[in-house]
């Protein structure tokens, strides 16, 4: 691996125009520290054609072969006293003070702080700002901490290619940006050093935009699973001694998943409608939405993908139903009863229609939902223009919602109108699941009424009602410009 990485990733002809000059005249980059990050960074720098010198407190302790041959190993003073243009601080920030003796040697040089934060909500200066305080004569740049050692080793094609960079020094930032490009990364300028805290905690974030949607989906699953357990298993067992606990593993999961998928899909479109009604009521689009609505609007993609996951799982579970032992036993039992009674099962035309319709709507709904999921991938979504994206996410989204509602209603058929559907005075869970999606669909239909649609379109194009904008909008300007 190390040998592979010693050949430059970019040939001279492929290198970006503003890359650092490669070859004998290439400026040396120093790395202080000989740990994991230092080693991976050195491998990558050498592979990009950069001369590297590693500065260690104890060079003799570094096992031979740990760094590529082209890397020069020196003590800390020796490494930074060379003609280096950049110094990577590949050590933990609590050890920065131990380098204070190098202050004069590091003066005027670019110091790259690669350290990560240790906690999300920590106050006070960032590691990079502390480094800048310790070395006021150096040009401190924050960067490369979001790149893991694995990404450095595997090359630009396999890992994430973005490198977030910030600094108060334009000159320092420019050098790091050039080096990042030369190494095959995409530098992203995050501004001044005050952005360092945000960059430091970036690797600590654990799916920040997913936690809310995942919790909501999980709670919905718990609700429908618990409700189904109470209504279909526990209460019948307590009241009639009927043992149906075997349904816990598959039946109940497969009953809960479509309900969760349907409600979650409705939750994707509900905030958009709520926002539209709020704009209509306020008569302006220039007043901010409450923060909870803003957050909800930003999580629609995640909710949609979770809805797709539940729907897909429901599809797989349903396909597995004939494999169950209980299905075989029931089939044999029914056949035995018919033979014994000497009867033939009459053709159930209505039943056949019902099952075909609900299966067909379910399959179509899942198909459209998969399209939505695919177009939400950045690589696919980026190829669509705004109109195409809106058509898929909104137009096809409502089609998926309608098909899913129809799938549920065909499944229920007229069952909801029979008293036996309400065992223990509890409606079946599919009936509960369909309430919110129906509200969303009806609400959407109201928004399409010409009088409402026209007003909403005007508001979204900047028109404001009198009470919001009494001066600007209704201000008459006379031809000579004097009101
Ligand atoms: P590491 O393996 O523990 O290496 C740290 C190095 O710091 C040591 O090998 C040591 O090298 C040097 N050092 C200098 N002065 C020191 C002192 N007074 N006490 C102890 N060590 C001293 O850590 P690492 O994983 O390479 O991480 C280094 C920095 O990179 C950290 O700030 C980390 O947040 C950041 N980072 C790491 C990764 C990663 O994937 N590992 C990713 C992004 C960022 P010498 O003994 O040769 O002096």
**pLDDT digit string, tens, across residues 22-58:** 444 556 899 999 999 999 999 999 999 999 999 999 9
Ligand 1 mean position, distance from CA 189 (Å): 25
Ligand 1 mean position, distance from CA 95 (Å): 9
Read off the pLDDT of each residue in 159-185 and give the average, rounded to a whole number: 92
pLDDT at 21: 45
Residue 483: pLDDT band by 50, 70, 90 thresholds? very low
8 A C-beta contact, residue 273 and residue 300: no
Sign of the dihedral through C-alpha 60, 62, 63, 66: negative
Read off the pLDDT of each residue in 136-163 and give the average, rounded to a whole number: 84
Per residue in 175-226, pLDDT (tens digit) is 999 999 999 999 999 999 999 999 999 988 888 889 999 999 999 999 999 9
Distance CA 349, CA 215 (A): 43
8 A C-beta contact, residue 99 and residue 32: yes
Average pLDDT, the chain: 89
Read off the pLDDT of each residue in 409-413 and give the average, rounded to a whole number: 92
Read off the pLDDT of each residue in 238-251 and give the average, rounded to a whole number: 95
Ligand 1 mean position, distance from CA 141 (Å): 17
- Ligand 1 probe mutation, 31, 33, 140, most atoms within 8 A of CB: 33
pLDDT at 3: 45
Distance CA 441, CA 173 (A): 52
Q: Return the residue whose CA atom lies nearest to atom 4 of ligand 1.
A: 35
Dihedral angle computed from the Cα positions of residues 254, 255, 256 and 262, in that order, rounded to the nearest 10 degrees: 100
Residue 341: pLDDT band by 50, 70, 90 thresholds? confident
8 A C-beta contact, residue 438 and residue 267: no
pLDDT at 83: 83
Ligand 1 mean position, distance from CA 167 (Å): 22
Ligand 1 mean position, distance from CA 37 (Å): 7
Task: Evaluate if residue 16 carries a pLDDT over 70.
Answer: no
Q: In what order do the strands lie in the sheet with 72-75?
A: 72-75, 51-56, 28-32, 84-89, 110-113, 139-143, 162-167, 186-189
Residue of 84, 82, 77, 75 lying closest to 101 (CA atoms): 77
pTM, two decimals, is 0.75
pLDDT at 472: 55
* Closest atom of ligand 1 relative to the 76 alpha carbon: 48
Read off the pLDDT of each residue in 299-303 and give the average, rounded to a whole number: 95
CA 3 to chain centre: 36
Distance CA 149, CA 1 (A): 14
| Lining residues, ligand 1, CB within 6 Å | 33-38, 56-58, 90-92, 95, 98, 114-116, 145, 148-149
Residue of 196, 308, 323 lying closest to 260 (CA atoms): 308
Residue 5: pLDDT band by 50, 70, 90 thresholds? very low
Task: Evaluate if residue 344 carries a pLDDT over 80.
Answer: no
Ligand 1 mean position, distance from CA 93 (Å): 9
Q: Return the residue whose CA atom lies nearest to atom 18 of ligand 1.
A: 95
Across 207-216, 309-318, 336-345, the highest mean pLDDT is recorded for: 309-318
8 A C-beta contact, residue 161 and residue 181: no
* Closest atom of ligand 1 relative to the 57 alpha carbon: 48
Burial label for 213, CB within 10 Å (0-12, 13-18, 19+), is buried
The most distant pair of C-alpha atoms in the chain lies apart, rounded to whole Å, by 103
Q: Which residue has the higher pLDDT, 483 or 75?
A: 75
pLDDT at 461: 94
Distance CA 424, CA 72 (A): 79
Residue 159: pLDDT band by 50, 70, 90 thresholds? low
With a pLDDT cut of 70, the percent of the chain lying above it is 90
Sign of the dihedral through C-alpha 195, 197, 200, 202: negative
Task: Evaluate if residue 285 carries a pLDDT over 70.
Answer: yes
* Backbone φ, ψ for residue 187 (5° rounding): -70, 140
With a pLDDT cut of 90, the percent of the chain lying above it is 72
Distance CA 427, CA 441 (A): 22
pLDDT at 481: 40
Ligand 1 mean position, distance from CA 58 (Å): 14
Q: Which of 43-52, 108-117, 204-213, 367-376 has the lowest mean pLDDT?
A: 204-213
* Closest atom of ligand 1 relative to the 37 alpha carbon: 26
Distances, alpha carbon 89 to alpha carbons 93, 112, 142, 179, 328, in Å: 9, 6, 10, 15, 67
Per residue in 272-282, pLDDT (tens digit) is 999 999 999 99
Distance CA 334, CA 201 (A): 63
Read off the pLDDT of each residue in 70-82 and give the average, rounded to a whole number: 92
Residue 470: pLDDT band by 50, 70, 90 thresholds? low
pLDDT at 471: 58
pLDDT at 136: 97
pLDDT at 475: 46
pLDDT at 381: 85
Q: Return the residue whose CA atom lies nearest to atom 9 of ligand 1.
A: 35
């Amino acid at each position: 691996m190390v040998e592979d990485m010693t050949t430059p990733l970019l040939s001279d002809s492929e290198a970006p125009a503003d890359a650092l000059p490669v070859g004998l005249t290439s400026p040396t980059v120093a790395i202080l520290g000989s740990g994991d990050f230092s080693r991976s960074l050195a491998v990558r720098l050498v592979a990009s054609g950069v001369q590297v010198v590693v500065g260690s407190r104890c060079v003799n302790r570094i096992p031979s072969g740990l760094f590529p041959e082209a890397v020069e190993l020196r003590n800390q003073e020796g490494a930074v006293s060379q003609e280096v243009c950049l110094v990577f601080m590949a050590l933990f920030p609590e050890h920065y003070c131990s380098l204070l003796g190098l202050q004069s040697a590091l003066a005027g040089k670019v110091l790259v702080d690669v350290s990560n934060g240790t906690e999300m909500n920590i106050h006070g200066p960032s590691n990079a700002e502390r480094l800048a305080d310790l070395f006021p004569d150096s040009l401190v740049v924050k960067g490369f901490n979001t790149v893991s050692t694995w990404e450095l080793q595997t090359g630009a094609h396999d890992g994430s290619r973005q490198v977030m960079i910030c600094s108060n020094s334009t000159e320092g930032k420019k050098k790091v940006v050039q080096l990042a490009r030369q190494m095959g990364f995409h530098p992203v300028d995050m501004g001044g050093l005050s952005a360092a805290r945000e960059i430091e905690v970036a690797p600590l974030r654990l799916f920040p935009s997913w936690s809310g949607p995942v919790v909501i989906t999980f709670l919905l699953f718990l609700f429908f699973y618990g409700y189904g357990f109470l209504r279909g298993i526990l209460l019948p067992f307590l009241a009639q001694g009927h043992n149906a606990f075997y349904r816990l593993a598959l039946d109940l999961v497969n009953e809960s998943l479509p309900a969760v998928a349907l409600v979650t899909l409705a939750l994707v479109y509900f905030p958009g409608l709520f926002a539209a009604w709020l704009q209509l009521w306020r008569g302006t689009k220039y007043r901010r939405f409450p923060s909870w609505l803003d957050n909800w609007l930003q999580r629609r993609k995640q909710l949609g993908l979770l809805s797709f996951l539940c729907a897909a799982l429901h599809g797989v579970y349903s396909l597995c139903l004939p494999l169950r032992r209980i299905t075989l036993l029931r089939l044999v039992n029914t056949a035995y009863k018919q033979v014994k009674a000497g009867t033939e099962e009459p053709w159930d035309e209505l039943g056949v229609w019902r099952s075909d319709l609900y299966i067909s709507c379910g399959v179509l709904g899942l198909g459209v939902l998969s399209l939505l999921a695919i177009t939400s991938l950045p690589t696919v979504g980026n190829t669509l223009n705004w109109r195409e994206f809106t058509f898929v996410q909104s137009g096809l989204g409502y089609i998926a919602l309608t098909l899913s509602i129809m799938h549920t209603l065909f499944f229920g058929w007229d069952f909801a109108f029979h008293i036996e559907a309400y065992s223990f005075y509890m409606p079946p869970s599919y009936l509960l699941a369909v309430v919110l999606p129906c509200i969303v669909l009806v609400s959407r239909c109201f928004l399409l009424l010409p009088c409402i649609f026209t007003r909403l379109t005007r508001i979204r194009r900047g028109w404001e009602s009198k009470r919001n904008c009494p001066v600007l909008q209704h201000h008459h300007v006379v031809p000579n410009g004097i009101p």
